[in-house]
Structure 1
């Protein structure tokens, strides 16, 4: 009799646990994304409409995301949000799977300039999420004679208070290169080395507070701990609404323009849910809600009529033609990227 009860109990346990495993596989989506980069209400709407529970992990740099995927995250997450310049690396390493366009009909809503991008021809692996710039966020109440150049970081005579550098290799290197008058994508070893020396000099300044993700730099400026920080424009725009003494600018020497995209890791546990999520984000209404929340520019042409009018006219979000001329996309440099890796390692370790 005891044996029968034991067997009955085991059968009940199996009946209860097997469906649970099945639900976990089909009813969960694991999203790996930058912090403060999606409206929680969008997540709630997706869960409500699909019955799929979204679990979120956060990162602060493309390098962190890449390392996590290589360390096993490729089979842990269903959707990641890489920046343009790192997409070719993810593809070459076999960390992304091709998208099934038949499951993403809203892909057609993207503006033509974000279809067939140079870093992912025919959008085989990615769909544009948001785009923006990297610039300088600063306190107008603490910097009263700002001249609109990156010299506030790189010229000891122009430094007036604590500042934060952005902890993103290619973007921070690009800013140093632009300050020196070089291309953000140069492959000249001497120019890359000069940019590294400039960054090292800035890092060792008595005013330097080190390297942080864009959100970390933004928070230090808001708190008054830093007078300036290199940040993403959307982070800065939200900060200006919290404190009118905070401002954002793309300095005169220029900076970088970027596109972040949605992608599915090569061994994602739930690619079906991933495709549903990508298609959901590309819905015109959701795309507008996303940009109205995080204050970055939308790549979704069908969303533009629903963007807040004040944001559409804000040149810090949608740069003027004059500013656009000063911006460069960061490109995949193939084998020449090792030059950047070597210099960045030197800067961070000394």
Structure 2
């Protein structure tokens, strides 16, 4: 999933001190980030009078409206949940993280019961009163989630995680890559994710700064570093396709996308970083304030935390997973996936809320994208 420009919408959200999210992104297939949102399987929020009446009478809900990334959850998972709960799940899709924030801050509960966002947003969403507190007693399978990856526990349920790291084709890449600064060497053809809060942390780390810096002079230096980086960029997005068809010999991408590429071409490897930390983003579900089908939303959250259910989902979407029991139940192919077989998994950083500094990031990012 490719995370698109956040500047326009999030500039208006600055009063809420929202942080742009890199992952979470994560659908997480970068090619599907340019998703045909208008073709979502069913337009969420189209509640029937019968459903509303049932909710008012205290009967079980029969409809669940979810807003999330496209191509990021198994069709079979949705169908099986519908069958087991005699309900209809309506999926609508966002094209970037700003879409989700707009929904949440504009009374998302009027349309949706669950909205996907990421860890970097949670502090501001809770402070603004935009998400419901969850009754985890009604979501007992959430105990399978590793607390290390559960930010704002009680207000969200983590779904999948994404390492943002460097992979390369060992046959065609002319240099060894052990750090972000190695990406500035000549002869590289890089396919990269985009987004201000995805790329600037890389530059900040390369320069020895905090990846969540709020210092404008450091951000300006990071911009200059990214200008040099851009000289080697041949494409934004579609890393798996660009690596396998030879358009690129290096990619800055998500671990799930790297997994697909490695299945197609076994010469693709994870760069052996020696000291630079990599970003780990966590995509999660929240219940927007005023959600109408709380009972069914809780059942869905509990269902996706079921080890066997999530393990099956990982076969189709092989991203890192915060559900320890699901990982234990996953296939050997998933457990042995070379996309997650690297030695520095603990050397990570998370995105933090940078407050009003986000406008500075976005201003420099816009300049970067137009080649100034």
Identify whether the pair has TM-score above 0.5, normalized to the shorter chain: yes
What residue in structure 2 maps to residue 45 of structure 1? Answer: 80
Q: Is the 8 A contact 1:62 1:168 kept in 2?
A: no
Q: Within the alignment, does 1:308 sit opposite 2:335 as a pair?
A: no
Aligned to 1:271: 294
Find the counterpart in structure 2 of residue 140 from structure 1: 170
1:99 aligned partner: 134
Residues 1:184 and 2:184 are matched in the alignment: no
Q: How far did residue 192 of structure 1 move? A: 1.7
> What does 1:1-350 align with in structure 2 at a 5 Å threshold?
18-19=49-50, 26-59=61-94, 61-70=96-105, 75-115=110-150, 117=151, 120=152, 123-151=153-181, 153=183, 155=184, 157-161=185-189, 163-203=190-230, 205=231, 207-209=232-234, 211-212=236-237, 216-249=238-271, 251-252=273-274, 253-314=276-337, 316-317=339-340, 319-320=342-343, 323-349=344-370, 350=372
* CA deviation after TM superposition for structure 1 residue 60, in Å: 5.0
The 8 Å contact of residues 133 and 256 in structure 1, kept in 2 or not, is answered as: yes
Report the structure number with the largest CA radius of gyration. Answer: 1
Tell me how far 1:311 sits from its aligned partner: 3.4
Q: Contact 1:132–1:233 (CA<8 Å) still a contact in 2?
A: yes
Cα deviation, residue 249, structure 1: 3.3
Distance between the aligned counterparts of 2:49 and 2:352, measured in 1?
A: 47
1:31 and 1:18 map into 2 onto residues whose CA distance is 19
What CA RMSD, in Å, does the superposition of the two structures yield over aligned residues? Answer: 3.0
Contact 1:140–1:246 (8 Å) recurs in 2: yes
Counterpart residue number, 2:24 = none
In 2, the alpha carbon distance for the partners of 1:138 and 1:23 equals 54
**Distance in 2, Cα, partners of 1:223 & 1:60:** 25
* Structure 2, unpaired ranges of 5+: 1-47
CA gap 1:35/1:231 in 2 versus in 1, 3 angstroms: farther
Aligned length: 319
Gaps of 5+ in 1: 1-16
* Residue 331 to residue 44, structure 1, CA distance change in 2 (3 Å): same
- Please state how far the C-alpha of 1:141 moved relative to its aligned partner: 3.6
In 2, distance between residues paired with 1:168 and 1:232? 13
Pick closer, same or farther for the CA change 1:343–1:90 going to 2, 3 Å.
farther
Map of 2:43 onto structure 1? none
Partners of 1:64 and 1:152 lie apart in 2 by 34
Are the counterparts in 2 of residues 132 and 317 from structure 1 also a CA contact under 8 Å? no
